[in-house]
Chain A
């Protein structure tokens, strides 16, 4: 009898669970059948409870909601300034880009998010491909950001760029020895090269750009050469490669520009010393150009505060905000009118790769496959 009563309980629990899940799925079907712009209106009513009249989509709302994978203090400062100047409240959820895309997808048309901000052109393209973005229509933005730093359909707008360059030991390497990414795979650099893990997105996007330029086969050979030339198994981040150069582990490293900038103003005197002892070289100047990556903002497909969101993009790509990005974070501005900070000026201008950022996401799986194949950890 005890066992029978146990079964009764089991059944009871299963029943409750089935009921609850049934409610959930029934509800989601309902929602799909509903009109598509209800969410926007609902959100606005919630935001602005004083006005009972329906608000048109283009009207400026009093807040803008951001899902961001950029975690820089300078971003928060710029949002605060934007609020001060426009009275539009900026709400933020920070997270990792794939998690945020997943959240956007699951929230669907109910999503409160207006902007999706992240680093890496590949991810921006993925967001577009996943169907969570819509075009930004703004003459101001078009004037401030060159077309090559925007999505072809303006689903996302670039905010800043960084170059992936070769850092070298000033005391051991003559910059004239350096030339291209391709050259780093040659025997000349055997046991002298440092780079972080191939699982890192910066490396994957670099490799993807090379696939776009040189083809798959050549890039596989290149990756094999890189793996063979490594002075040690990949470890740590970009800064750690710079430190390893100075420590004498290797002579050259592939790293992002702004890390050198950050180290040069570090609170740790030891890091400043490291930054002083390494040089920055922009490769492929005579051929395909230096690899750059981009961080950008995408307008979400069901943005409830579309007008405010576009206004924020306009604000962030304007000269003033761009100069701030650049001076605090050592990123390159996307707005050609913005002045570069001293450090970036000292490195000079350079030729950039002309590869569509979409290729970064398109070839990403290939890069993983190649790395596994050639044994670049």
Chain B
């Protein structure tokens, strides 16, 4: 099965501190949209970084699509994991246009394929007319959609989203939640998103996990 399996993960910032993630296990089935809720500092974002390969766990293993990406004797670098990550601050490259941002991860494709994928992605996030714009010329919601398109463009095995709504105005939130749900549905992607807001998770996810009290699945 093309699942994402985390087993017995332990992580601490420094040797002196108590682990922020302690013996944590979680399995996400293909196509599932899982939400993780937890207070800030509970290690939600760190979990995403562990999956993405930006941090290394002290113990435990992660398997994505039947491939072990990290365990006691394996470490696959972030660039080779095929994981999409939408950062809390989106991290759109300020000196590149929307189109350049989206195709950034597509350098392996031929030029024509790249164009095709770009159009596809712009359609998906409904930003057809914005290809030539720069990130700072977009609204917060639009920036988020660009970040989403950029992460989805290389067809990752799993999409990770870190606090997708924290940078948005409250009155826009409902609309954007809906949009995001539609996009995720259309893209048919396995997704793990973290939020401190229970409502966000309930609105979008098929399953919710609380980080503070790990649930074994």
Contacts and interface: CB of A to CB of B under 8 A. Distances in A.
Please say whether the chains A and B touch (CB closer than 8 A): yes
B14 interface: yes
Nearest to A5: B56
A103 B39 CA distance: 66
Contacts of A3: 14-15
Interface string B35-58: 000000000000000000000101
Interface residues of A, number: 3
Contacts of A2: 14-15, 56, 58
Chain A interface SS verdict (over half): helix
B58 A1 contact: yes
Contacts of B15: 2-3
Interface string B6-34: 00000000110000000000000000000
Interface in A1-26: 1-3
A3 B58 CA distance: 11
B165 to A, nearest CB: 32
B104 to A, nearest CB: 30
Chain B interface SS verdict (over half): loop
A5 to B, nearest CB: 9
Nearest to A6: B15
B98 to A, nearest CB: 37
A1 B56 CA distance: 9
B188 to A, nearest CB: 37
B66 to A, nearest CB: 25
A159 to B, nearest CB: 64
Nearest to A1: B58
Nearest to B16: A3
A3 B56 CA distance: 12
A152 to B, nearest CB: 69
Contacts of A1: 56, 58
Nearest to B58: A1
Nearest to A4: B15
A4 to B, nearest CB: 9
Nearest to B57: A1
A207 to B, nearest CB: 63
A2 B56 CA distance: 9
A1 B75 CA distance: 13
Contacts of B56: 1-2
A1 B71 CA distance: 13
Contacts of B14: 2-3
Nearest to B56: A1
B59 to A, nearest CB: 8
A1 B15 CA distance: 8
A2 B10 CA distance: 12
A9 to B, nearest CB: 14
A233 to B, nearest CB: 57
Nearest to B10: A1
B105 to A, nearest CB: 28
B58 to A, nearest CB: 5
A2 B14 CA distance: 7
Contacts of B58: 1-2
A295 B5 CA distance: 84
A2 to B, nearest CB: 7
A71 B28 CA distance: 79
A2 B11 CA distance: 10
B76 to A, nearest CB: 17
Interface string A338-354: 00000000000000000
A3 B15 CA distance: 7
Interface string B52-80: 00001010000000000000000000000
Nearest to B59: A1
A2 B12 CA distance: 9
B176 to A, nearest CB: 37
A195 B213 CA distance: 85
A2 B75 CA distance: 14
Given A2-B15, A3-B15, 6 more contacts: A1-B56, A1-B58, A2-B14, A2-B56, A2-B58, A3-B14
8 contacts: A1-B56, A1-B58, A2-B14, A2-B15, A2-B56, A2-B58, A3-B14, A3-B15
Interface of A: 1-3
User: Sorted from nearest, which 6 A-B pairs have the closest CB atoms?
Assistant: A3-B15, A1-B58, A2-B15, A2-B14, A1-B56, A3-B14
